[in-house]
Chain A
Amino acid sequence: MFDRRLLQCFDWGLLVLTLAIGTSGLVALYSAVSAGAVEPDLTLFRKQLIWYACSFIIMIFCFLFDYKQFERFANAIYIASLGALTAVLFFGKYVGGSRRWLQLGPFSLQPSEMTKVAIIIVLARYYAKLINTEGLTLRDLMVPVFLTALPFALIVRQPDLGTAMVIALIAGAITFFVKIERRAFVWLVTTFAMLVPSVWFFLRGYQKQRILTFFNPDRDPLGAGYHIIQSKIAIGSGMLTGKGFLKGTQNALSFLPEQHTDFIFSVLCEEWGFVGGMTVIVLFLLIIALGLSIAGRCRDPFGTILSVGVTAMIAWQVFINIGMVMGLLPVVGVTLPFVSYGGSSILTMMIGIGLLMNVSMRRFKFE
């Protein structure tokens, strides 16, 4: 039964890269949670370790059987994730004005995170049958738009604009990768350009305010605007080599909002400087390159698109999160993969890595 070639083709490089980035994340998290306190409260740090351990097991589970199984059960996975998103709207717990978490015993899960993987799988299955060098027609695009719009709307309802946007971006990246027909492309761009102003017209005043602030943090000088200033100071003050482990002051002053989740990169850069920040960025770039090369070596459309999807998920989140904390992009609640605190985020990313490994170790089937 067991094919020795599976082991031979195992992607050790991807595992090492993942572990390296995970470790740097844990170091940064340790700094973030012990900020300014005489006796650091390590509860969050321990929880993160437990999440890593659990996610690691699930990651192994994800490459034990052929990824073709995911193609078979794609619809079931997709529907299950829609079910979880609906459940959150009714039974989720309120935290800070939004409902994002489902309480499962001592743990709480964020179904919107898992939905990212579900949408990648279901789109990969759909596009795998249609893919051709001419590109997708408008008619082809109707189903994927619908498949993406459903979870998107459910997540916006929570509300969690950041995650909803990431889902749309992942779907968009996969679709562009598969290629869109020129005529369809023109259509898409024009409808989109017309849709945005008309939606704006229907929004209420406070919703407009929220969106304006979202794109321009300076409109909210006591909230997002202030956070960005402090984050930039934190990163910049790290200079070339950083202030040293646990020596970050911006972090200690708790000037950084969500220093252990969305703004963890600022903590890392303050203490480890340009050297540390650059290392992390390069590690991410290597993972992305590896993901794309896995996609390339796979000779099966489903496997290729699946790998591209997972890679797009990692790439978008890294780009948005780091761009945000450095003041390049609007302040959105998007986590830094493998680094930010958060069980659902870690779990999702590890599932993604598991899928990449799955595709990678079964490449011999085409050789």
Chain B
Amino acid sequence: MTDYLDNVSSEWFDQRLSTTMVVVIAAFVLLIARLLFLQVIEGRELRRLSEINSIRLKTVAAPRGLIFDSHDRLMADNRPSYDVSIIVKDAGSLLETISKLSRYAGIDESELLDRLEKAKGTRAYKPVLLKSDVSRDELAAIEVNRWDLPGIVVNVSPRRDYIYTPSSAHILGYMGEIGVKELKNKRFSDCKTGDYIGKYGIERSREHWLRGKRGGQQVEVKATGQVARVLNTVDAVPGHNIILSIDLSLQQKAEQLLGEKAGAAVAVDPSTGRILAMVSTPSYDQNSFISGMSHKEWNALVSDPMHPLENKAIQAEYPPASTYKIIAAAAGLEEGVIDENSSFFCPGFLKFGNRTYRCWKKWGHGEVNIVKALSESCDVYFYKVGQELGVDRLAWYARAFGLGSPTGVDLDHEAGGLIPTAQWKKKRVGVSWQKGETLSIVIGQGFNLATPLQMAMVVAAVGNGGTRYQPTIVKTIRTADGKTVYESVPKIVGKLPISKKNLSIVRNGLFKAVNDRHGTAWRSRLDGVAMCGKTGTAQVVGRREDDEDGERIKDHAWFLAYAPEDNPSIAVAVFVEHGEHGSTTAAPIAAEMIRFHLSGGQPGKAPSHNVRHLETVQGD
């Protein structure tokens, strides 16, 4: 065959190929020279370095961001934790070292051997954690006998410390070791096995801000393992500090008021939506999550019927009961079903179909108008409003007040509650809506469900004149050296669909509920400041069937309030599980929270009038 090349000759190619070969050889000579330099000229020194494997990397944990209340009171701090590890290769006789460690420090030997067993698969040159967070005494014993404990290393790392735990435990949350699933997540790409991350509350929802950036040091160590010199350092970057809108004193006051009872209390600033207090009882010890909890302790927490791990203020959904009448009243007035002057006669019951619907007041309220219906919480009046409105129109208003969907507060796991409609029931239950059910709905029973935070936002909007704010709990985020990187601004999410005039009628009803001697919350009124509020008593299903079980069958108590009447600076929702009556258990707590807040944290006087007026009202 002939030569394929027509443009160029093979000599031309050969010449270019030779040049290429020369370049390649030159490059490879460079490689060989370098290899020669490393292995022959520097070989001895590098061999020495490799034998004592003297250059090591030490990681430096980043301190987690601190959490403060709105008055800059530290709530979540970091403290040093001393972790004891062993480097198997350096340990000499492994079992002997372990038994000596156990003897010196008084740590259970089987516990140490367990840890060692678990880490068997890992390489012999990596430190194996034997015991984290040893006590001062144990640490001292180890340090004194260091010479006799080859391969034992003690590392200091920052640990979370919740100063006021169990106070505010549901807001701050807790931390736990990172799981396998999370490690695969891109969000945790800078984490390693054994790292602690936020698992609940602010710790979880603001994990990204709170977690700092790990630093490290390149060090040269002596044969004994001590650092001879630091070659290079990358500083750890501490996490961001978070300032909450919570007022710690109010928070603690509310916790103390709820005491042993299961329940929730939420206080917000009606003009901004900032949460001033968010309490859920009973609480739990956050620090026990960090120092390691036994299975028994954990199971006890999880199976506790009072659900201590749940933040009832946002996660628990309850029937709003009579507090829902605020919405029913607004809907009735706006839709023209009733007006300021409409009045009905309440004989203590309403016959509807073949059933009798009772008012809570057996002997009836007599002639009732809308203001009286709210202040004395007349069921019969609202039955009539509900009949006229129908379930779907009512549901529209409930949604416009923010019920039926999460408020969007900056905490995870928020529940949305439930506002039933005819269509919803058909779809979910499979049965058509019964007219009579509307009568349960209109007084906040039946399928209705709302969280305490949602109800607090309802009363806050009523209190501030009809503006709905997004509730927020994080006020400011700052870098460790104090530079503000985030500042929450009040965010309006809607307006109540109610005219000024009608809103003032509703507000008047809430005013009278507290400040009229026939009002359901008269006993909880405050001296010198006009508090407005609405009581609620949520029927617990199955009440009649198992009467013998004392605590479980009592009704739930609600109280919503704001104060002062004009331009309120605080709105509160209090919920007490099985508290029986809103007026007797929930209202006093809310009243005291408001008084405490308005007085700037002054200790309360003896609630004298509460005692004087025991006679009239018995719940609602």
Hey, which bits of chain A sit against chain B, CB under 8 A?
35-37, 94, 97, 131-133, 177, 179, 218, 221-222, 225-226, 229-230, 232-240, 249-250, 252-255, 269-270, 273-274, 277-278, 281, 284-285, 288-289, 292-293, 295-296, 299-301, 304, 308, 315, 319, 322-323, 326, 328, 365-367
Contact = CB atoms under 8 A, between A and B. Distances in A.
Contacts of B189: 97
A236 B51 contact: no
B602 to A, nearest CB: 52
B8 A254 contact: no
Contacts of B545: none
Interface of B: 1-5, 7-8, 10, 12-14, 16-17, 20-21, 24-25, 27-28, 30-32, 34-36, 38-40, 42-47, 49-51, 53, 55, 57, 59, 123-126, 186, 189, 215-216, 218, 231-234
A277 to B, nearest CB: 5
Given A238-B43, A239-B40, A326-B38, A301 B5 contact: yes
Contact of B47 (A179, A239, A289): A239
Given A177-B20, A255-B53, A278-B32, A236 B12 contact: no
15 contacts: A222-B215, A230-B55, A233-B55, A235-B35, A235-B39, A236-B38, A237-B50, A239-B40, A240-B39, A249-B51, A273-B39, A274-B36, A281-B32, A301-B4, A365-B1
A292 to B, nearest CB: 5
A239 B44 contact: yes
A133 B125 contact: no
A299 B3 contact: yes
A218 B218 CA distance: 11
Contacts of B17: 292-293, 295-296, 308
A225 B232 contact: yes
Given A36-B123, A299-B3, A222 B218 contact: yes
A281 B45 CA distance: 24
A236 B218 contact: no
Given A133-B8, A236-B47, A304-B13, A274 B125 contact: no
Given A97-B189, A239-B43, A292-B17, A221 B218 contact: yes
Contact of A249 (B14, B21, B50): B50
B12 to A, nearest CB: 6
A222 to B, nearest CB: 4
Nearest to A237: B50
Nearest to A312: B20
A326 B35 contact: yes
Contact of B39 (A94, A239, A365): A239
A252 B189 CA distance: 26
Given A226-B218, A304-B13, A326 B125 contact: no
A218 B38 CA distance: 19
A133 B16 CA distance: 11
Given A229-B218, A292-B21, A221 B46 contact: no
Contacts, number: 160
Contacts of A230: 55
A222 B5 contact: no
Contacts of A304: 13
A236 B125 contact: no
A222 B234 contact: yes
Return the 7 tightest CB-CB contacts between A and B, nearest first: A236-B46, A221-B232, A237-B50, A239-B43, A300-B4, A222-B216, A237-B47
Contact of B8 (A131, A278, A292, A293): A131
A251 B595 CA distance: 70
B218 A225 contact: yes
Given A222-B232, A366-B1, 4 more contacts: A97-B186, A236-B47, A300-B4, A328-B31
A301 B125 CA distance: 56
Nearest to A178: B16
A238 B25 CA distance: 24
A36 B122 CA distance: 9
Nearest to A364: B1
Nearest to A239: B43
Given A250-B50, A296-B13, A301-B5, A315 B24 contact: yes
Contact of A240 (B24, B40, B123, B218): B40
A328 B28 CA distance: 12
A274 B35 contact: yes
Contact of B43 (A237, A288, A292, A322): A237
B123 A254 contact: yes
A235 B38 contact: yes
A274 B32 CA distance: 9
Contacts of A293: 17
Contacts of A269: 35, 39
A85 B231 CA distance: 41
A299 B16 CA distance: 14
A205 to B, nearest CB: 15
Contact of B14 (A131, A255, A296, A365): A296
A131 B47 contact: no
A233 B8 contact: no
A323 B25 CA distance: 14
Contacts of B27: 315, 319
A281 B28 contact: yes
A16 B109 CA distance: 59
B221 to A, nearest CB: 13
A292 B16 CA distance: 10
A52 to B, nearest CB: 25
Contacts of B8: 131-133, 301
Contact of B125 (A254, A295, A300): A254
Contacts of B42: 236
Contacts of B231: 221
Nearest to A97: B189
Nearest to B10: A299
A229 B42 CA distance: 13
A132 B20 CA distance: 18
Nearest to B54: A233
Contacts of B31: 281, 319, 322-323, 326, 328
Contact of B20 (A240, A292, A299, A367): A292
A232 B126 CA distance: 21
B128 to A, nearest CB: 14
Interface centre among A222, A225, A230, A235 (most CB of B within 10 A): A222
B443 to A, nearest CB: 54
Contacts of A281: 28, 31-32, 35
Given A97-B189, A254-B123, A300 B35 contact: no
Contacts of A270: 50
Contacts of A300: 4-5
A43 B3 CA distance: 50
Of listed B36, B50, B55, residue having the most chain A CB within 10 A = B50
Nearest to B124: A36
A296 B124 CA distance: 54
A269 B43 CA distance: 11
A289 B23 CA distance: 11
Q: Which of A177, A252, A296 has the most CB of B within 10 A?
A: A296
A131 B13 CA distance: 11
A319 B46 CA distance: 23
A37 B123 contact: yes
Given A222-B57, A236-B43, A308 B38 contact: no
Given A222-B234, A238-B43, A299 B24 contact: no
A323 B186 CA distance: 32
A237 B57 contact: no
Contacts of A319: 27-28, 31
Contacts of A289: 21, 24
Nearest to B233: A221
Contact of A233 (B24, B28, B46, B124): B46
Nearest to B45: A236
A259 to B, nearest CB: 12
B147 to A, nearest CB: 25
